[in-house]
Structure 1
Amino acid sequence: MGCDGGTIPKRHELVKGPKKVEKADKDAELVAQWNYCTLSQEILRRPIVACELGRLYNKDAVIEFLLDKSSEKALGKAASHIKSIKNVTELRLSDNPAWEGDKGNTKGDKHDDLQRARFICPVVGLEINGRHRFCFLRCCGCVFSERALKEIKAEVCHTCGAAFQEDDVIVLNGSKEDVEMLRKRMEDRRLRAKPGKKAKKAKAAESASKPDASEESPGPSKMKTGKPEETLDSGEKKTSSAPKSEAPSGSSSGKAGKPLCGASKRSIADSEESEAYKSLFTTHSSAKRSKEESAHWVTHTSYCF
């Protein structure tokens, strides 16, 4: 069996049992959740936003995702519930004065504490490193520890003074139970917002159609005001034409039968004008020629050859 020389094999060397399930390191998991963007896997940098499920993103990564929703991106499933930029809230974070960043370890001769966070709670002073539960207010975006909200109970934000309700409090990077609860709240909130959006669209359509209808068909006031103006104009014309027609009978006997400007047209041949005046028009007999007198001729222009 290969056990010469007095070696005693142990049981785990001879019997192969089931493989142990590999577990992720908790510290590495916390660093990935609180220091890196969920969508692009890059280091979080301001402006930092959070969705309604409590996940952290870089704002530019969310904008790029909304502009280019390609199915090839495997990480796009983490942000599939984000339909517009209104579904995320920009966070107001308080800087940690004890955080030096990469300045203190440029040469690599110093221990780099990964659990030290860049941001802290402005009320209690706890670091945002995943060891404590943190939440943000959806109405204003201020970030606090859950301990601060429980110890200092108030209906107003501790930093900006904005009023908030219980539904506005969203846990950052919560457990599976917290994510399920937040998802239900999100779905209920969006269902309540749908009727309001439909009502706004209907009002906008009505307001857009009303001015068009008023422009096409004038109102009754315009119709009523237009009629007396026409009657007045016609009355003025009648009164102005009346004194012209009422000429004295003895002034001109030959010109009494002249047609007025508003009367029906009459032929000049039937009028009582002189023959010299009638000969100026083509309807006079002197202007008409017989077939024998009329000549047959054709005009040629410069374009005819």
Structure 2
Amino acid sequence: MGCDGGTIPKRHELVKGPKKVEKVDKSAELAAKWKYCALSQEKLRRPIVACELGKLFNKDAIIEYLLDKSAERPNTEAVLHIRGTRDIKELNLTDNPEWEGERRNTKGDKYEDIYCGMFICPVVGLEMNGKHRFCYLQTCGCVFSDRALKEVKTEICHKCGDPFKSQDIVVLNGTKEEVGKLKEKMEERRAKAKTKKSKKSKAAETVSAPSENAPSPCVDVAGSSSSQTDGDKSESAEAGPSGSSSSSNGAKASTASATTKRSIQSMEGKSEAFKSLFTTHSSAKRTKEQTSNWVTHTPYHF
């Protein structure tokens, strides 16, 4: 059928060639990166955060992911490196005065510029639409264009005045090479943080651990504290009243004198008021008439 009525077929209608490779529309790709969340694929809305690799997210989407990581999401590979809220930074963005909102062309009688961005650079005025390279500072979260950071070289933020270093600059939606460099920096930064935490924990353990060689305080019967080393104890044991001539009897007597306790009431240097504080004093003892039969446990029951 066909080719009747004087129609002349062309070559591409008769010969089937190889299929053309589908190419990604650049405008659609830029819109997906700079106008939509990298996790939930919803439109970006304040508050907007960025990770250490320069990807843009809605803050509520990141919080939902951190609360429940088991839920199914369209693009979880983009947030595998995010462990908590410390790994993200809320961006301080500058609104574009020419941005009229999503419903600026409801009637369809106006030209809609797809490259019109919601935010601009506060120094140069370039729109944040993907055509220009933008960066943010990890110290304060302010966003600037790369041209502004190159033309106006300073170590103080142009917007808030906080100091920063070249290491604190992170490229937003960079190329594969830039993302690879940012990933290496992120791993180095986390490795340094781990070493610092390990050093602090070791220092805390050494401070809290008690010294083993420190002498332990000994409290005598009278209540006075005295610290004696092993050598002092041995000397005091040898100095005990051993009247025997043999060395074995003397050692036994010294150990016995060291182990036996002196009675408070037999001490001559103590006053009678001090002796009355202890239960061995005569005033603390009761007669059988003073004690009751039904009381079984009392410190004054003898």
TM-score by length of 1: 0.69
- Which residue in the other structure is 1:239 paired with? 271
Q: Distance in 2 between matches of 1:223 and 1:45?
A: 71
Residues 91 and 222 from structure 1, CA distance in 2 versus in 1: closer, same or farther, beyond 3 angstroms?
Answer: farther
3-state SS in 2 of match to 1:149 = helix
- Which residue in the other structure is 1:261 paired with? 282
- Which residue in the other structure is 2:84 paired with? 84
- Which residue in the other structure is 1:35 paired with? 35
- Which residue in the other structure is 2:224 paired with? 227
Q: Does 1:105 align with 2:108?
A: no
3-state SS in 1 of match to 2:44 = coil
Q: Distance in 1 between matches of 2:202 and 2:225?
A: 40
- Which residue in the other structure is 1:62 paired with? 62
- Which residue in the other structure is 1:191 paired with? 191
Q: Distance in 1 between matches of 2:268 and 2:102?
A: 95
Q: Does 1:143 align with 2:143?
A: yes
Measure how far apart 1:5 and its partner are. Answer: 3.8
AA matched with 2:148: A
Contact 2:219 2:225 in 1 (8 A): no
AA matched with 1:196: K
3-state SS in 2 of match to 1:178 = helix
Unaligned runs of 5+ in 2: 227-261, 294-302
For each residue in 1:208-244, what CA deviation from the matched residue of structure 2 results, as whole angstroms up to 9, or x when unmatched? x56xx79xxxx96795994169x9x9769953279x9
The structure that is helix-richer by fraction is: 1
AA matched with 1:30: L
Measure how far apart 1:8 and its partner are. Answer: 2.6
Measure how far apart 1:201 and its partner are. Answer: 3.4
Q: Does 1:47 align with 2:39?
A: no
For each residue in 1:26-49, what CA deviation from the matched residue of structure 2 results, as whole angstroms up to 9, or x when unmatched? 111111111111111111111110
Measure how far apart 1:105 and its partner are. Answer: 3.1
Contact 2:218 2:225 in 1 (8 A): no
Q: Distance in 2 between matches of 1:227 and 1:150?
A: 75
For each residue in 1:49-85, what CA deviation from the matched residue of structure 2 results, as whole angstroms up to 9, or x when unmatched? 0001110001111111111111633411111010111
The number of residues matched between the two structures is 245
Q: Distance in 2 between matches of 1:39 and 1:205?
A: 42
Unaligned runs of 5+ in 1: 245-259, 269-276, 283-305
Measure how far apart 1:194 and its partner are. Answer: 1.2
Q: Distance in 2 between matches of 1:34 and 1:69?
A: 25
3-state SS in 2 of match to 1:144 = strand
Q: Distance in 2 between matches of 1:163 and 1:106?
A: 44
Measure how far apart 1:162 and its partner are. Answer: 2.1
- Which residue in the other structure is 1:295 paired with? none
Residues 118 and 72 from structure 1, CA distance in 2 versus in 1: closer, same or farther, beyond 3 angstroms?
Answer: closer
- Which residue in the other structure is 1:294 paired with? none
Measure how far apart 1:149 and its partner are. Answer: 0.7
Asked which structure has the greater CA Rg, the reply is: 1
Measure how far apart 1:204 and its partner are. Answer: 5.0
Residues 226 and 60 from structure 1, CA distance in 2 versus in 1: closer, same or farther, beyond 3 angstroms?
Answer: farther
User: Which shows bigger deviation, 131-140 or 4-13?
Assistant: 4-13
AA matched with 1:239: S
AA matched with 2:224: K
Q: Distance in 1 between matches of 2:35 and 2:284?
A: 96
Q: What is the Cα-based RMSD across aligned positions, in Å? A: 3.7
Residues 38 and 205 from structure 1, CA distance in 2 versus in 1: closer, same or farther, beyond 3 angstroms?
Answer: farther
- Which residue in the other structure is 1:21 paired with? 21
Q: Does 1:164 align with 2:161?
A: no
- Which residue in the other structure is 2:251 paired with? none
For each residue in 1:7-28, what CA deviation from the matched residue of structure 2 results, as whole angstroms up to 9, or x when unmatched? 3322211111111111121111
3-state SS in 1 of match to 2:282 = coil
Residues 74 and 241 from structure 1, CA distance in 2 versus in 1: closer, same or farther, beyond 3 angstroms?
Answer: closer
- Which residue in the other structure is 1:296 paired with? none
Residues 126 and 237 from structure 1, CA distance in 2 versus in 1: closer, same or farther, beyond 3 angstroms?
Answer: same
For each residue in 1:95-144, what CA deviation from the matched residue of structure 2 results, as whole angstroms up to 9, or x when unmatched? 11121113533444433322211111000000101110001111111100
AA matched with 1:133: R
Measure how far apart 1:264 and its partner are. Answer: 9.1
Q: Distance in 1 between matches of 2:66 and 2:204?
A: 26
